[in-house]
A and B are shown apart, each in its own frame.
Chain A
């Protein structure tokens, strides 16, 4: 088996293993796995409404996945996507609500605000990593909590003690009557095109720009990059900033498309953490992220159908997602297994 095939097989096997263990969990707890997965399937593809909602759910996942993948490619681990997404969500919701502008200015401005907020949230860990060699994993985790509490406090202050901001103006909305009618009045919005455009942007930066080449070089080997005359510090900071901007745009999907406002939260959205899985499954490539996001977006939205159609708690899908992450992380052992298998075949 060639390396390329193994690289493809590891995520596929991880997904299958995750679904299998999920089935076992359902069996053990007295549910019918066939009915469960049928309900899941129908929840995703059942009718045009379900498909519309599924695609809507995929958009923030694409951006969260891009954020993690972009950092990964440059040798950084961004666990702060969750926080960057929350500040992006807030920035977009605020700009969308507070200003009165024509649509051509308002919508881009709101998107830009989200990207900028996420970028700032990525800048801090980037700066600390570049200048003081502080590990970005811990800083980004801490930044998640800081984002959550600050955004909740801001919502409270701006709304005068309330728990959510007013709806955004129509001029900042990503809502689309056309897409909505096309999918039997689902909440599908233009965000998916923004997400796909960002996939292109990530590919363009990494594969077509000098900046991308430098970022990847720093990720491969910092010392070599330094020796080649690249500014390692600048590249680390830039990588985190760009990664954060992707995540912030993920928040804009929720603010300008799905919800049209922001409410204070007791906990995280989970999208940022699932973004880690999305990126891992997609092997940290832009195209791979689309596949990873499609899988996780579908699972997450389709799961909503499981309690009604098969009477199975929605959390079973969270278990499956966590297991898939676990198996992808343990890819080494799957690789070893595959290699042994292929060697046996050759021997025969």
Chain B
């Protein structure tokens, strides 16, 4: 029993730490896709966020001191939001194939980031950051037996922010007029247009939000997990977030749950050799678990998940 608890004390905080970047990015995906714009470019937006987060952190560590990682997250959010405009322009105004545009965003994100890193540092990756996102113990809650050490000891502030964002996103999407418009635009843009909702404007906002959140996700991942930036820093986190979004059935809280589960799988995969009951499970099984599960989820074995109806269709005013 005590070994199990010890294992959980290691794995649970690590799972939440791995989940946080996925939560940000997956929620970003929820916003974009709820408005009817496929966003395969989440990976590229995350890469951009990670790159900006790390470089900003390195440059301004002296200026902002302990606040540096947070300001870096903000900077990453801004830059990725602007970067996502490219996807918005292509897929909303230029009526591009949204999947192809997303693929271009992914390729472009990593290419721009690596090009800039080579220009600034003259090598393929950055230095390590000194000002990392701090871990802290939550007062009172940390003293709860069993649950305290699991959930409330040495928590990243970014993890709390991620969970708050998920709840906030749920509130925005389901309880506010903007959320109603967002969903209607993604389900039936013509009906929404008839009701006087500016379809393309809502979609632009949604894609920009997705860019901002994915940028935050990238910055959080880089500043908690790798602490530097190179070509393999993000390596599929964006696609995993996309998977979490689908697995969570395009619902913010569902996406958060899936992200936490994927975080758990990642934490297990990385620690499997040191865990008593896991040493015989090859780590690749855990690495592929999130992807396999997504396919299983899509195949409908865990209840059918249907995306927004107008997903992928550019809205052309006046067409039927």
Contact = CB atoms under 8 A, between A and B. Distances in A.
Interface in B80-101: 86, 89-90, 93-97, 99-101
B294 A142 contact: yes
B40 A137 contact: yes
B107 A142 contact: no
Nearest to A137: B99
B114 A315 contact: yes
Interface in A312-339: 313, 315-316, 318-319, 321-323, 325-326, 328-333
Interface residues of A, number: 42
A318 B90 CA distance: 19
Given A326-B86, A329-B96, A315 B111 contact: yes
A29 B115 CA distance: 10
Interface in B199-246: 231-232, 235-236, 239, 242-243, 246
Given A137-B99, A138-B298, A153 B282 contact: yes
B291 A319 contact: no
A134 B295 CA distance: 9
A290 interface: no
A139 B235 CA distance: 18
A319 B108 contact: yes
A333 B288 contact: no
Contacts of A138: 242-243, 246, 294, 298
B97 A329 contact: yes
Given A153-B282, A329-B90, A142 B111 contact: no
A318 B101 contact: no
Contacts of B175: none
Contacts of A328: 100
A319 B291 CA distance: 28
Given A276-B103, A316-B115, A146 B291 contact: yes
A166 B292 CA distance: 30
Contacts of A333: 93-95
B292 A142 contact: yes
Interface string A135-149: 101110111011001
Contacts of A321: 107, 111
Nearest to B283: A153
Interface-central residue, B89, B100, B236, B242, by most chain A CB under 10 Å: B100
Given A322-B111, A325-B104, A330 B299 contact: no
Interface-central residue, B99, B291, B294, by most chain A CB under 10 Å: B291
A284 interface: no
A142 B243 contact: yes
A332 B106 CA distance: 21
B291 A142 contact: yes
Contacts of A70: none
A86 B108 CA distance: 22
A153 B281 CA distance: 12
Interface string A91-135: 000000000000000000000000000000000100010001011
Contact of A132 (B97, B287, B300): B300
Contacts of B115: 25, 29, 313, 315-316, 318-319
A34 interface: no
A333 B308 CA distance: 26
A273 interface: yes
B51 to A, nearest CB: 12
Contacts of B173: none
Contacts of B135: none
Nearest to B103: A276
A128 B118 contact: no
Contacts of A318: 107, 110-111, 114-115
A267 B231 contact: yes
A329 B291 contact: no
Given A141-B40, A326-B86, A134 B298 contact: yes
Interface in A262-300: 266-267, 273, 276, 280
Contacts of B96: 326, 329-332
A267 B110 CA distance: 12
B299 A128 contact: yes
Nearest to A320: B111
Interface of A: 25, 29, 77, 79, 124, 128, 132, 134-135, 137-139, 141-143, 145-146, 149-150, 152-153, 266-267, 273, 276, 280, 313, 315-316, 318-319, 321-323, 325-326, 328-333
Given A134-B299, A318-B114, A322-B104, 13 more contacts: A138-B242, A139-B295, A150-B284, A153-B282, A273-B106, A273-B107, A313-B119, A315-B112, A325-B107, A326-B90, A329-B97, A329-B104, A333-B95
7 contacts: A134-B298, A137-B99, A150-B288, A273-B103, A273-B106, A331-B96, A332-B96
